[in-house]
Chain A
Amino acid sequence: MGAEKQYIDLFAQSEELINVHSAPLLNEQRSEAMRHFAKMGFPDKKSERYRYTDVEQLFAPDYGLNLKQLDVDANPYEAFKCDVPNMSTALYFIVNDSFYETNKVSAELPEGVLVGGLKDIAEKHPEILKKYYAQLADVSKDPVTAFNTAFAQDGFCIYVPKGVVLDKAIQLVSILRSTIDLIVNRRILIILEENAQARLLVCDHTTGTAQFLSTQVVEVFAADNAKLELYEIEETSRTNTRISNMYIHQAQNSSVHVNGMTLTNGTTRNTVDVQLVGRGAEVSLAGIAIEDTNQHVDNHTYINHKTTDCTSRELYKYVLNDFSTGAFTGRVVVSPGAQRTLSQQTNNNLCLSKNAKMYAQPQLEIYADDVKCGHGATTGQLDEAALFYMQQRGISQKEARMLLMFAFVNEVIDTISMEELKERLHYLIEKRFRGELNKCGSCSNCKLE
């Protein structure tokens, strides 16, 4: 205990200020969340859930909070064009933790579909969001979720009504931009009604030299037969800290695919918590972490098969260099009576330097008997024989290593259904391996650096 005191005090002093700059729906949850947070405190390394990421230490530095939701003097449309070539997306921005309002209509959406700032939609349509907001993200179980629920003022929301299929993918670019060190608390709510379909691409960026700590809570509701694809790409900076908790609730025959790619970052912790509550629901989680220097990526997944005939698949790959640390925890629970469950999990890691550390922890907890569950985890190096083969054929060692690393992570990229995004990722990852960091080449921000 220690780091949390400043936040408990801050909340006590400024709860009203926080409320004024947010929506009643969000405000209702705050004090309860803070009560739980104060009780739990930040988890230290003894906590099994946060064994590999010392959250308490991450929150210890003196950060500011933009509780008044002051505008940042920049037009993200001009600063960022990290769009995907040949892919027309409905583009939205979040700057720090507030939705960037603009008059520009980014795309025409089918009737009834709501896409935009969470605060705004919560004010205009509380009757829709009431059923969903903070219903999955349990503030009594996770201190970071409690923290986020207490402080989050805005974020992003997608609501797709019954039977509507969004042809156009939605792209959300989240930009961290500030002159002082800042904590941002972002909230994303995704609701797909029966038979609805959507695709969402979230890109995380930072600018400037300030240090950021972002907490993000994502709640996803997929009703019967709904289908969601969610891609997250992190290209932030070495001083950035990201803690994201995603909660997914899946009804009958729904299908959710989440792919989280960490290309450049400082310290990242991603939690994905999936509840398969309807028969025949299907979830697939995938992730890539490419790390060097002293980067830290901790992916923590939890899939609970609560009923029969559900399927879960996981594929996570890490490439670790220099002093980086990778951690993967994949916990799959098959609840009593969840017969005919299929679950497969794979975690492969490349450890390319003596000082890199990898922690893998695949877990199965099974309480039903008619199941087929398996997991595999490997940690190793590039295949010497393959390297030798390529060198024999005149490919330089450097290039050969690149090719092998690329092939290694490509399996994860192959799980993406959007061809344009695949292509873009090939391009980004190749550049990442070549050490050209996060310059996308098309936006002013990247050109500046």
Chain B
Amino acid sequence: MQEEFKGKNQLDVEQLTKEKYKYGFTTDVETDIIEKGLNEDVIRIISAKNEEPDWLLDFRLKAYRHWLTLEVPTWAHLRIPAIDYQGLSYYADPRAKKDGPTSLDEVDPELLKTFNKLGIPLEEQMALSGIAVDAVMDSVSVKTTFKDTLLEKGIIFCSFSDAVKDHPDLVRKYMGSVVGYRDNFYATLNSAVFSDGSFVYIPKGVRCPMALSTYFRINAINTGQFERTLIVAEDDSYVSYLEGCTAPSRDENQLHAAIVEIIVNKNAEVKYSTVQNWYPGDENGKGGVYNFVTKRGLCKGDNSKLSWTQVETGSAITWKYPSCILRGDDSQAEFYSVAVTNNYQQADTGTKMIHLGKNTKSTIISKGISAGRSENSYRGLVKVSANADGARNYSQCDSLLMGDKCGAHTFPYMDIHNDTAVVEHEATTSKISEDQLFYCNQRGISTEEAVGLIVNGYAKEVINKLPMEFAVEAQKLLSISLEGSVG
């Protein structure tokens, strides 16, 4: 099945490479946007709109007050234009101003069209592929499919705001336990103004029968998207979670500062896959999404397992380090990443593996591809604490350069405080070899197609880790993102 998809995909390469950002449409839905600007009143309004309890408002206000004391981080290998945080609106609700939809019929048809355009049908198609979707547009979770099917198993999969209402104890217990509100500039901002997101709870011993998925989309102009995802996997449970993102093409930059927190208990396993395809800006570097995301998972219980897989093709600027804290003994973590930058895109992405428990293992495979005038950096930390006896890490970071105006960088940090740790890091940087291209050309494959082939082969190790539906999308994205970068 997978082979068939790939075969089809390769034929599409030529056509695809001519495509522009095809998710760049906007949707004309009535949107409830609050006034621009950020102050305590705005936070109170957001909290009131979500009908939040007092403890959550306090959490937001604490975060906001702390945020005021922070400075914008400058250590990343990125040129980030100054962001006017007062010029943004912190809440945009694309639902009609009436009450929220109670059934699919009540959802704004324009909105449904949007998701259909995105290839995210909320209905039967999804039943076939067996994915439950929570779609977040701008700030509000629009609809969660398969909620009831999941509930039978005791699985909670709902929007964050619903979770606050229906499962306040769970949210209160886990929110901020992995990424605290003081964590970093963008995480603190998110903690203050987050509007919605997804919540997943897998009870003890339950294997989630389908992949859960969230689709994020920024639609409204001059808004920031600040969603929060919280995943809790109890003992002996399993879940695979997918996240996809798109945004319309706009000349202005859009800000996306999200938080993902994952708690993995004893013997549980969580797989988190992302295909990030926010609008990257046009070929002159105008517009695009600033993607400043804090993602972190805690392998809390013994023998727990967490795996991050990401395909990063979008965003004007990506600042993202999905991390793992390996606290439980024998816990394992993986990070598989493909990051593609083209034109004027900038990416500074990687991971942190913090080994605290005994016999913990982590694997990092990072593949960077840079083209055009883009900058692509891998930044990673492997830390082995003094008590993490028998820790093991293997890191591999490869960079592929296409064009002589782009940059590919690696900044790995290895802090080893234990004499039983074995830590290996390897990195290579090279370009697509003339030999490979010549070989393909000889066999009648055009240069453009050959590049698609080679890049997909190069990234295969990571793409193979994605669930199949995502793998197909990811392969297409790779080819589209590199359009026109050869020659």
Chain A residues proximal to chain B, CB less than 8 Å: 48, 336-337, 339, 349, 351-381
* Contact indicator A374/B401 (Cβ below 8 Å): no
- Bound CA span A358–B409, Å: 22
Contact B416 A359 (CB under 8 A): yes
Residues on A with beta carbons closer than 8 Å to the beta carbon of B51? none
In the complex, which of the residues A357, A363, A374 contacts B411, with contact meaning CB atoms closer than 8 Å? A363
Q: Is the CB of B422 within 8 A of A373?
A: no
Chain A min CB distance to B383 (Å): 10
B415 in contact (CB, < 8 A): yes
A370 to B431, CA, bound (A): 6
Interface centre among B401, B424, B429, B430 (most CB of A within 10 A): B429
Instruction: Give Cα A270 to B399, complex, Å.
Output: 29
A48 pairs with B421, CB closer than 8 A: no
A364-B427, A364-B429 known; A359 vs B410 contact (CB < 8 Å):
no
Does B408 belong to the interface (CB within 8 Å)?
yes
Q: How far is the CA of A237 from the CA of B407 in the complex (A)?
A: 44
Would A360 and B419 count as touching, CB distance under 8 A?
Answer: no
Some 16 contacts from A to B, beta carbons below 8 A apart, are A356-B419, A357-B416, A359-B414, A360-B414, A365-B409, A366-B429, A368-B401, A369-B402, A369-B403, A370-B431, A371-B430, A375-B427, A377-B424, A379-B416, A379-B423, A381-B419
Residue of A nearest to B424 (CB): A378
Chain A residue at smallest Cβ distance from B427? A375
Residue B406 at the A interface, CB < 8 A? yes
Chain B: minimal CB distance from A29 (Å): 31
Nearest-Cβ distance from residue B46 to partner chain A, whole angstroms? 34
B185 → chain A, closest Cβ, in Å? Answer: 16
Asked if B425 and A360 make an inter-chain contact with CB atoms under 8 angstroms apart, the answer reads yes
B184 at the interface (CB under 8 A from A): no
Residues A376 and B427 in contact in the complex (CB < 8 Å), given A351-B421, A358-B416, A363-B410 = yes
Chain A contacts for B428, CB-based, 8 A = 372-374
- B366-405, CB < 8 A from A: 386, 399, 401-405
Does A373 contact B429, Cβ atoms closer than 8 Å? yes
Q: Are A375 and B431 in contact (CB under 8 A)?
A: no
Q: Are A361 and B411 in contact (CB under 8 A)?
A: yes
- How far in angstroms is the closest Cβ of chain A from B315? 21
Contacts of B431 in A (CB 8 A): 369-371
- Least CB distance from A253 to B in Å reads 23
B386 / chain A contacts, CB cutoff of 8 Å:
354-355
| Contact A361–B416 (Cβ < 8 Å) | no
Q: Tell me if B420 is interfacial: C-beta within 8 Å of chain A.
A: yes
State whether A351 and B419 are in contact (beta carbons under 8 Å apart), knowing that A361-B412, A374-B428, A374-B429 are contacts in the complex: yes
Q: Are A369 and B427 in contact (CB under 8 A)?
A: no
Nearest B residue to A354 via CB reads B419
User: Which 8 pairs from chain A and chain B are nearest by CB?
Assistant: A369-B401, A360-B414, A374-B428, A373-B429, A380-B422, A377-B425, A358-B416, A365-B409
B413 within 8 A of A: yes
Nearest-neighbour CB distance to chain B for A406, whole angstroms, equals 19
Q: Name 20 extra pairs, CB < 8 A, besides A360-B425, A365-B77.
A: A349-B416, A351-B419, A351-B421, A352-B419, A354-B420, A355-B386, A355-B417, A357-B415, A359-B415, A359-B416, A360-B416, A361-B414, A363-B410, A364-B399, A366-B399, A370-B404, A372-B428, A375-B427, A379-B421, A380-B423
Q: Contact at B409–A366, with CB atoms within 8 Å?
A: yes
Instruction: Provide the bound-state CA to CA distance between A111 and B414, in Å.
Output: 50
A354, A363, A375: the one contacting B418 at CB < 8 Å is: A354
Which residues of A sit under 8 angstroms from B55, Cβ to Cβ?
none
User: Which residues on the A side are within 8 Å of B413 (C-beta)?
Assistant: 359-361
Question: Please, which residues of chain B bring their CB within 8 A of the CB of A373?
Answer: 428-430
Residues of B within 8 A of A356 (CB): 417, 419
Pairwise interchain contact B424-A364, C-beta atoms closer than 8 A: no
- The digit string for B59-93, where 1 denotes a CB below 8 A from any CB of A, is 00000000000000001010000000000000000
B415 touches A362 (CB 8 A): no
Given the known interface contacts A355-B386, A377-B425, A380-B423, the answer about A362 and B404 at a Cβ–Cβ threshold of 8 Å is no
Chain B residues near A378: list those with CB within 8 A: 422-425
Chain B's closest residue to A333 (CB) is B409
| Main SS at interface, chain A | strand
Q: Contact at A364–B410, with CB atoms within 8 Å? A: yes
Do B407 and A365 have beta carbons less than 8 Å apart? yes
Does B106 count as interface, using CB distance less than 8 angstroms?
no
Bound complex: CA of A378 vs CA of B416, how far in Å?
Answer: 10
Mask, B289-314, CB within 8 Å of A = 1, is 00000000000000000000000000
- CA separation between A9 and B411, bound complex, in Å? 39
Residues of B near A360 (CB, < 8 A) are 412-414, 416, 425
Q: In the assembled complex, how far is the CB of residue A285 from the closest CB belonging to chain B, in whole angstroms?
A: 18
Distance between B454 CB and nearest chain A CB, rounded to angstroms: 14
Q: Which of B407, B412, B419, B430 contacts A362 (CB 8 A)?
A: B412
Contacts A357-B416, A359-B415, A367-B407 known; A374 to B427 CB distance under 8 Å? yes
B4 within 8 A of A: no
Q: How far is the CA of A370 from the CA of B77 in the complex (A)?
A: 22
Greatest chain A CB density within 10 A among B412, B414, B424 is at B414
Contact B407 A366 (CB under 8 A): yes
Contact of A351 among B409, B418, B427 (CB under 8 A): B418
CB-CB < 8 A to B422: which residues of A? 378-381
Contacts of B77 in A (CB 8 A): 365
A364 touches B408 (CB 8 A): yes
Q: Once bound together, how far apart are the Cα atoms of A350 and B361, in whole Å?
A: 19
CA–CA, A272 to B427, complex, Å? 22
Determine if A374 and B426 form an interchain contact, defined as CB atoms under 8 angstroms apart: yes
B427 lies within 8 A of A362 (CB): yes
Tell whether A368 pairs with B404 under 8 Å between CB atoms, given A357-B415, A374-B429. Answer: yes
A336 cross-chain contacts in B, Cβ below 8 A: 404-405
Write out the residue numbers on chain B whose beta carbons fall within 8 Å of the beta carbon of A371: 401, 429-431
Identity of the chain A residue whose Cβ is nearest the Cβ of B429 in the assembled complex:
A373
Interface centre among B77, B403, B410 (most CB of A within 10 A): B410
- Cα separation A365 to B375 with both chains bound (whole Å): 10
A379 to B418, CA, bound (A): 10
- Given that A48-B75, A351-B418, A361-B413 are contacting pairs, would A376 and B426 also be in contact in the complex, using a CB cutoff of 8 Å? yes
CA distance A357 to B416 in the complex (A): 5
How far does the alpha carbon of A373 sit from the alpha carbon of B429 in the complex, in Å? 5
B430 close to A363 (CB less than 8 A): no
Q: How far apart sit A363 and B397, CA to CA, in the bound complex (Å)?
A: 11
Q: Which residues of chain A have C-beta atoms less than 8 A from B403's C-beta? A: 369
Shortest distance from the beta carbon of B482 to any chain A beta carbon, whole Å? 14
CA distance A115 to B386 in the complex (A): 49
Using CB atoms, name the residue of chain B closest to A374: B428
B415-456 interface code vs A (CB 8 A; 1 in, 0 out)? 111111111111111110000000000000000000000000
Closest to B376 in A: A366
Contact assessment for B404 and A339 in the assembled complex, using a CB-CB cutoff below 8 Å: yes
